[in-house]
Amino acid sequence: MTATRELISFVRNLDHARLPADVVAKAKHCVLDLIGVAIAGSQTSMARVSTQFARAQFSPGQASVIGSHSRMSEVGASWVNGICASALDMDDGHRQAMGHPGAAVIPSALAVAESVGASGREFLTAVVAGYEIATRASVAMLPDYRAGRYSTGLWGGFGSATAASKLLKFDSRHYQSALGIVGMHGPSPAGGDFMHQSMVKEAIAWAGLAGCSSVFQAQSGFTGPEDVLDRSGRYDTHKLVIDLGQVYAIQKTYFKPYASCRWSHPAIDGALLLVRQEGLRLEEIHQVHLEGFQPLLMLVDYTPTSTVAAQYSVPFSLALALAWGRIGPGELTEANLQDAQLLELARRVKISVDPELNQLFPDKTAIRVTLHTSRGDFTTTVEYPKGDPANPLSHAELVDKFRWLTVDILGEERSQALMELIDALEQMDDLKPLTRLLVF
């Protein structure tokens, strides 16, 4: 049996009743977090532009679009909701996969589940399956194929196609064809830090669109190549299936407390910790020295020109965190990009590579933070930033994040109702009570 077919067999046999309770709980946390982030992201210019495009290209349809009264095809809703989910860079991620499975998987699962009238149990099972295949595809990439491209667009489509195929109850032939189609039609974004300057980001939403559309192409009889994960020369087939069904990839998902690239989070955690411990004021900080892993050098932008670029700037993100104590939609603004004090604070951040910490990457994104101040030097090292499975956000903290991102948009009553529905997903016969609350 090929690795592709082993994965297909696993997904087709995956059943909610046999999922461990902690896996189901983690899936609900992923849905809660992703929907909260997407609601906040629906207010960004990225989302407005994408909704306008999709309304013209993918309407009408049966799937709900977050923050819009337009109903679109499943493909269109997958695209827009993926944009909303990734716009603020607060969506979940997976350290070993080096990317963001949730924003590619959950929008497609939500759109298809709503359209076919799937139950909450079926939806959650599809989400678990989508995370599993997407993450395994990334972890199994051969070095020559990845070639420095830390982009969810390379592998997120496999998760989107998997979730949609599961909900449509595809047989092996159609699911295999869908994987082949997205393997050939999915995005293959170039590497380099230039991608941080635009709304394309990591091609996350386009991967979701490609995965979702591949399923409906396969359903219509369009065929894709067989065993694309085995025969393309891009993947280590042993890694694709190792521990399959024993260790669930979704369990290693991390959540993000800040609207910035995950690689900046150890620095932010460390700097805020030192400020609190020592009672430091901003004017006392002369310089911040960060020592960590090589890819940090891709994120040294002292004058970001857009909110997207700011998300990928470690110096500017750190300046925002030091000034405001948090980074969310209220801090990630065009006005703050022009703030002279913030820009001056960002210029005090210096970044270098530490050989020992660099060896820990990507399993760890460890950073040593030193604050040079008028009262002396203070240092700490952060190996696991807040939200990592080894340093998790608690359920209460995830609820606080959801409320922070949604109450001002939805109001207290609707935000609370949405949380309660997500918590009770296993009892829902269909998702329409939930998706109705996403339309505003």
Whether residues 196 and 324 fall in one domain: no
Q: Is there a domain that residue 398 lies in?
A: no
What pLDDT shows up at residue 265?
98
User: What mean pLDDT, rounded, does the chain reach?
Assistant: 96
Q: Name the pLDDT band for 198 (thresholds 50, 70, 90).
A: confident
Q: Is there a domain that residue 138 lies in?
A: yes
Whether residues 299 and 155 fall in one domain: no
Over residues 406-425, mean pLDDT: 98
| pLDDT tens string 38-50 | 999 999 999 999 9
Q: Is there a domain that residue 391 lies in?
A: no
Does the pLDDT value for residue 217 go beyond 70?
yes
What pLDDT shows up at residue 383?
97
Q: Name the pLDDT band for 189 (thresholds 50, 70, 90).
A: confident
| pLDDT tens string 348-364 | 999 999 999 999 998 89
Whether residues 48 and 83 fall in one domain: yes
What pLDDT shows up at residue 75?
98
What pLDDT shows up at residue 188?
82
What is the DSSP annotation of 29-88? HHHHHHHHHHHHHTTSHHHHHHHHHHHHHS-S-SEE-TT-S-EE-HHHHHHHHHHHHHTT
| pLDDT tens string 3-22 | 999 999 999 999 999 999 99
Q: Do the beta carbons of residue 359 and residue 352 sit within 8 Å?
A: no
Over residues 86-105, mean pLDDT: 96
Q: Do the beta carbons of residue 70 and residue 85 sit within 8 Å?
A: no
Q: Is there a domain that residue 243 lies in?
A: yes
What pLDDT shows up at residue 151?
86
CB neighbours of 41 closer than 8 A, spacing ≥ 6?
47, 83, 84, 85, 86, 87, 88, 90
Whether residues 225 and 328 fall in one domain: no
Q: Three-state DSSP class for 363?
A: coil
Number of domains in the chain: 2
Over residues 113-132, mean pLDDT: 98
Q: Do the beta carbons of residue 300 and residue 292 sit within 8 Å?
A: no
What pLDDT shows up at residue 225?
94
Over residues 264-290, mean pLDDT: 97
Query: Does 151 or 168 have the greater pLDDT score?
Result: 168
Over residues 315-343, mean pLDDT: 97
Q: Is there a domain that residue 390 lies in?
A: no
Does the pLDDT value for residue 195 go beyond 80?
no
Whether residues 208 and 319 fall in one domain: no
Alpha helix stretches (DSSP H) within 222-312: 228-231, 237-241, 265-278, 307-311
| pLDDT tens string 61-78 | 999 999 999 999 999 999
Q: Is there a domain that residue 387 lies in?
A: no
| Cα–Cα distance, 144 to 148 (Å, whole number) | 9
| Cα–Cα distance, 248 to 229 (Å, whole number) | 19
Whether residues 305 and 336 fall in one domain: yes
Q: Name the pLDDT band for 261 (thresholds 50, 70, 90).
A: very high
What pLDDT shows up at residue 193?
58
75: Cα within 13 Å, side-chain hemisphere: 17
Whether residues 353 and 427 fall in one domain: no
What pLDDT shows up at residue 147?
82
Q: Name the pLDDT band for 425 (thresholds 50, 70, 90).
A: very high
Does the pLDDT value for residue 266 go beyond 90?
yes
| Whole-prediction pTM | 0.97
Give residue 205's Cα distance to chain centre: 10
What domain range includes position 253? 3-257+403-436
Whether residues 269 and 327 fall in one domain: yes
Q: Is there a domain that residue 271 lies in?
A: yes
332's tokens? 């990630």
Q: Is 147 left (phi over 0), alpha (psi -120 to 50) or beta?
A: left
Whether residues 411 and 378 fall in one domain: no
| Cα–Cα distance, 136 to 130 (Å, whole number) | 10
Whether residues 102 and 190 fall in one domain: yes
Whether residues 302 and 365 fall in one domain: yes
Does the pLDDT value for residue 194 go beyond 60?
no
Whether residues 117 and 154 fall in one domain: yes
| Cα–Cα distance, 188 to 113 (Å, whole number) | 27
Does the pLDDT value for residue 219 go beyond 70?
yes
Over residues 190-217, mean pLDDT: 85
| Cα–Cα distance, 376 to 237 (Å, whole number) | 52
What pLDDT shows up at residue 197?
67
| Cα–Cα distance, 101 to 318 (Å, whole number) | 25
CATH of the domain at 232: 1.10.4100.10
What pLDDT shows up at residue 17?
97
CATH of the domain at 317: 3.30.1330.120
Over residues 268-288, mean pLDDT: 97
Q: Is there a domain that residue 280 lies in?
A: yes
